[in-house]
Structure 1
Amino acid sequence: MCCYADETVTSSTSGRASKVWVEKLSAQHLRVFEQFNLQLNAGLNIFTGTNGTGKTSILEAIDVLSRGKSFRCSSVNPIIQFEQNDLTVYAEIHTEQGDCLPIGLKYAHGKPQLKLNREKVEKWSTIAAELPIIDIHPESYLLVTGSPEERRRFLSWGAFHVEQRFYPAWLQYHRALKQRNECLKQKNYPEAAHWHPIMAESGQLISQIFAQYIEVISPYIVDYIDQFGFDEPVEFDYEPAWNRAKSLQACLDEELQQRNNTTTIGPHRSELKLSWHGQKFSKSSSRGQQKVLALAMKLAQSTLLIESTQKTPLYLIDELPAELDEYRCQMAIEVISGLNAQALITSVSPEPLIKFVENDAKWFHVEHGQVSEML
């Protein structure tokens, strides 16, 4: 069943979402930290300190716990402390109803052990569903300027959290895709064709979900970029990576005749195209405009999540003052606070943020692998 929000809603939420936040966070052998134990605020948590002291690593602890990777690396191994071979991350997730949900990761010798509510779980997707994370960091502009894979990840995150049919279809499609590609490499074309019906059914559903997600989220993005001062509308177009006049199965059958050694059509090659002034956005915009659009897309994603599921995501924001001017930095914090979301924010100095952060924010200082609360 689709659980998209009504397309007529705006970027201000109409009802109070069920807030989920990390109250306790601890880690051992995480980058520069031998260990830390933190009691976090349900709202804003700001970590200050010079570069290289470990501020960003605290954000990574939550990221890797939720997804098995962080916005800085694609696996767990790089964030394990030097000369150590294990990593432990533990968090207690709380809700406004008073429930406590412990989540733990033990990673040793290349093998992860995950626990949710003290029960072993096999897949990180189980954790991600309970703890949706939105990252905003210095490389976020790549969502706009990077490869199509960056925007497919954006679509996949949104579809995973708001559309129940997406993840089963995604698993089915990628399993079949892997098998088909193996057959193509071995030039076993009859066996490759065996996977076409499965890929066609699941692939067309994925593309349908992606297209619908873009249609629904676009007004949210436009609303935010208007607030951030864009004077021209940005246009969004989804291309499914096969001839729209034909079915995916027909296109797979035709591609098979070309005797390629890999699959070049399907939703794994689809693209979300961004344009304005009739040109590709990444080619006709400044770096500052690219950062603002990426931020608007992330904020829109959280707003749609709340409207669709009544679940609030957690924000991990690395070096926000370095990425935006003061006005847009203030706007971003006001939006996140207005969404009743928890956020962990890093900054070299407290000065750029202290003037417009609410009094109930919690401040921490990070230095030499130690974290201390600022009173």
Structure 2
Amino acid sequence: MRLAELRIENLRNVASAQIELGPRVNLFLGGNGAGKTSLLEAAYLLSHGRSFRSGRHETLTRIGQESMSIFGRVQHADGSERRVGMVRSRSGWEARIDGRTPEGMIEVLREAAVVCFEPGSHDLIAGPGEGRRRFLDWGVFHVEPEFGVVSRRFRRALKQRNALLRSGTTARDLAPWDAELVACADRIDDWRRHYVGLWEIGLAQVLGDLLPELGAVDVSYRSGWLAGARLQDVLAERVDRDRARGHTGAGPHRADWSIAFERAPQREHLSRGQEKLCALACALSQAALFAQLRGEWPVVCLDDLASELDREHQAAVLSWLDAVEAQVLITGTERPTMLANPGATARTFHVEQGQVATLL
């Protein structure tokens, strides 16, 4: 898929922008604070329903404005086209598809697929488990049609169970929510395990190119409860502890995964640069798996590429992307060396104070 057009109103410091994107490489150049990252953030929001930057949803809206909006014209490999959009106001999010209001945000998120590597991406390796679960679940969401609905059922059951735990209710009152939670959890866990098995193959290939010095890679997935145990038994055994703490301590919401290398078995053995390359490899291999399973590439966003990677690795990444069919959005203060070479083609934009102008 590709984003043929992106329209933005009042996103951070971008008051208004309408961008006609090229099918392959799109380069956004400008100084620090110009608004380049916000353009990638807009594409990411259409795909994930949340920003890759930290902060509250309210901070997305330009100061002094009541709402912000993002609309994209999405073209798929089968020739179909969708106009998707999101509006954020004080009352929350509102979605649009081809001018109509869908039943939920899930329908919009299925149309646009975007993976992103940005300055905070190293948290995928070094940060808390929440980011890794989101990464994993985004991939599963685009593979398993029922995943979004089952995940929503699980979150509802978890919320109800936690509320009952805090109210000091009996195990009998918990029973129906335990049953619903377990039913959803088993399906989520099966889907996640299957996805990790597929993704690990491609990840090993990309890491072999970017970090060959670390040797073979192994991905370890943990379900969020005691290995080999049934979740219903774990919930029953932990009920007093959960009641004392006021929340459910075992389940898919505690799942995690980690990466270990033959020559760097612990995360602490990795440098910050190696963490970034690991995170980049995760994004690229996820994009490749999406293409393998869905028959089209997601959009690949690379924020501030030159400051995150040295020239050797920039060239390696751009060469990798040049060999596939993905649309790429790159930001930077200057043109990457590889894209400055004769014969290199990229649609180029200049960004200054939230204004976007097409150069080439």
TM-score by length of 2: 0.93
For residues 110 and 73 of structure 1, what CA distance do their matches in structure 2 show? 21
Equivalent residues in 2 for 1:213-224, closer than 5 Å: 213-224=195-206
Equivalent in the alignment of 1:337:
322
Structure 2 CA distance for partners of 1:243 and 1:369, relative to 1, 3 Å? closer
Q: CA deviation at 1:33?
A: 2.2
Task: Check whether the contact 1:104–1:116 (CA below 8 A) recurs between aligned residues.
Answer: yes
Equivalent in the alignment of 2:211:
229
Structure 2 CA distance for partners of 1:278 and 1:208, relative to 1, 3 Å? farther
For residues 243 and 201 of structure 1, what CA distance do their matches in structure 2 show? 17
Equivalent residues in 2 for 1:94-173, closer than 5 Å: 94-173=75-154
Q: Which amino acid aligns with 1:215?
A: G
Q: Which runs of 5+ in 2 are unaligned?
A: none
Query: 2:349 aligned with 1:364, yes or no?
Result: yes
More helix by share: 2
Query: 2:164 aligned with 1:183, yes or no?
Result: yes
Query: 2:10 aligned with 1:29, yes or no?
Result: yes
> 221, 237, 249: which is aligned to 1:264?
249
Q: CA deviation at 1:208?
A: 1.6
Task: Check whether the contact 1:136–1:295 (CA below 8 A) recurs between aligned residues.
Answer: yes
Task: Check whether the contact 2:304–2:330 (CA below 8 A) recurs between aligned residues.
Answer: yes
Structure 2 CA distance for partners of 1:118 and 1:74, relative to 1, 3 Å? farther
The secondary structure found in structure 2 opposite 1:113 is strand
Query: 2:66 aligned with 1:85, yes or no?
Result: yes
Moved more, 318-327 or 274-283: 274-283
Moved more, 255-264 or 112-121: 255-264
For residues 324 and 259 of structure 2, what CA distance do their matches in structure 1 show? 26
Q: Which amino acid aligns with 1:205?
A: R
Task: Check whether the contact 1:193–1:253 (CA below 8 A) recurs between aligned residues.
Answer: no
Equivalent residues in 2 for 1:287-366, closer than 5 Å: 287-355=272-340, 359-366=344-351
Task: Check whether the contact 1:200–1:248 (CA below 8 A) recurs between aligned residues.
Answer: yes
Q: CA deviation at 1:139?
A: 0.7
Seq. identity, %: 28
Equivalent in the alignment of 2:182:
200
Q: Which amino acid aligns with 2:23?
A: A
Q: CA deviation at 1:169?
A: 2.2
Q: Which amino acid aligns with 1:245?
A: G
> 198, 222, 234: which is aligned to 1:251?
234
The secondary structure found in structure 2 opposite 1:307 is helix
Q: Which amino acid aligns with 1:227?
A: D
For residues 196 and 32 of structure 2, what CA distance do their matches in structure 1 show? 37
For residues 271 and 102 of structure 1, what CA distance do their matches in structure 2 show? 35
Q: CA deviation at 1:173?
A: 1.4
Structure 2 CA distance for partners of 1:220 and 1:138, relative to 1, 3 Å? same
The secondary structure found in structure 2 opposite 1:171 is helix
Task: Check whether the contact 1:69–1:75 (CA below 8 A) recurs between aligned residues.
Answer: no
Listed one character per residue, the Cα deviations across residues 81-136 of structure 1 (whole Å, up to 9, x for unaligned) are 11111212222112355433112233333333321011112422211111011011
Equivalent in the alignment of 2:221:
238
Q: CA deviation at 1:148?
A: 1.3
Size of the aligned set, in residue pairs, is 356
Task: Check whether the contact 2:287–2:300 (CA below 8 A) recurs between aligned residues.
Answer: no
The secondary structure found in structure 2 opposite 1:235 is strand
Structure 2 CA distance for partners of 1:196 and 1:96, relative to 1, 3 Å? closer
Structure 2 CA distance for partners of 1:263 and 1:303, relative to 1, 3 Å? same
Query: 2:27 aligned with 1:42, yes or no?
Result: no
Could you list the runs of 4 or more consecutive aligned residues of structure 1 that deviate by over 4 angstroms after TM superposition? 277-280
Q: CA deviation at 1:351?
A: 4.6
Moved more, 99-108 or 176-185: 99-108
Q: CA deviation at 1:198?
A: 1.4
Q: CA deviation at 1:356?
A: 5.3
Q: Which amino acid aligns with 1:219?
A: I
For residues 174 and 113 of structure 1, what CA distance do their matches in structure 2 show? 21
For residues 267 and 327 of structure 2, what CA distance do their matches in structure 1 show? 31
For residues 305 and 116 of structure 1, what CA distance do their matches in structure 2 show? 22
Structure 2 CA distance for partners of 1:218 and 1:356, relative to 1, 3 Å? farther
Listed one character per residue, the Cα deviations across residues 12-35 of structure 1 (whole Å, up to 9, x for unaligned) are xxxxxxxx2111112122222221
TM-score by length of 1: 0.89
Task: Check whether the contact 2:348–2:358 (CA below 8 A) recurs between aligned residues.
Answer: yes
